[in-house]
């Protein structure tokens, strides 16, 4: 397996960017993760993860238009790069192969 240097939180942030694109920014990502997980997600943690993902080349960003609800400030919008998409596919394939190996046994082991 190729090492992707993608942590679990970074993985879900990257997946969420893919879901929300082209409208993914730190607040919308945090809100989506909170809705999906039912847990509080810090916007600061999401922002830090987005910065790391951008440094790794998994996402790219650009400044959106200024909006009145943000007091004229612009949002930094994120999209998944081709490299980020390949990493997500690699991670998914590994997880799927592992799940396929245990699914028949899950009911027996955990019931």
Instruction: State yes or no: pLDDT of 1 exceeds 60.
Output: no
Q: Which alpha helices (H) appear in 21-81, and where do they start and end?
A: 26-37, 43-56
Q: What is the largest CA-CA distance in the chain?
A: 57
* Neighbouring residues of 109: CB distance < 8 A, sequence distance ≥ 6: 102
Segments making up each domain of the chain, as ranges: 8-110
pTM score, whole prediction: 0.84
Report the alpha-carbon distance of residue 25 to residue 16 in Å, rounded: 10
In this structure, the dihedral spanned by the alpha carbons of residues 43, 45, 50 and 52, taken in order and rounded to 10 degrees, is 160
pLDDT tens track for 15-69: 999 999 999 999 999 999 999 999 999 999 999 999 999 999 999 999 987 776 6
pLDDT tens track for 90-106: 999 999 998 888 866 65
Q: Domain 8-110 belongs to what architecture? A: Orthogonal Bundle (1.10)
Q: Which residue in 23, 73, 16, 70 sits closest to 46, CA to CA?
A: 16
Distance between start and end Cα atoms, the chain: 31
């Amino acid at each position: 397996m190729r090492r992707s240097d993608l942590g679990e939180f970074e993985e879900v942030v990257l997946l969420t960017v893919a879901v929300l694109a082209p409208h993914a920014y730190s607040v919308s990502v945090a809100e989506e993760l909170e809705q999906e997980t039912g847990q509080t997600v810090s916007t600061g943690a999401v922002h830090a993860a987005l910065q790391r993902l951008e440094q790794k080349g998994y996402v790219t960003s650009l400044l959106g238009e200024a909006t009145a609800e943000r007091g004229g400030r612009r949002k930094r919008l994120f999209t998944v790069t081709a490299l980020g998409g390949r990493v997500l596919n690699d991670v998914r394939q590994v997880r799927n192969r592992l799940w396929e190996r245990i699914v028949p046994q899950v009911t027996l082991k955990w019931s």
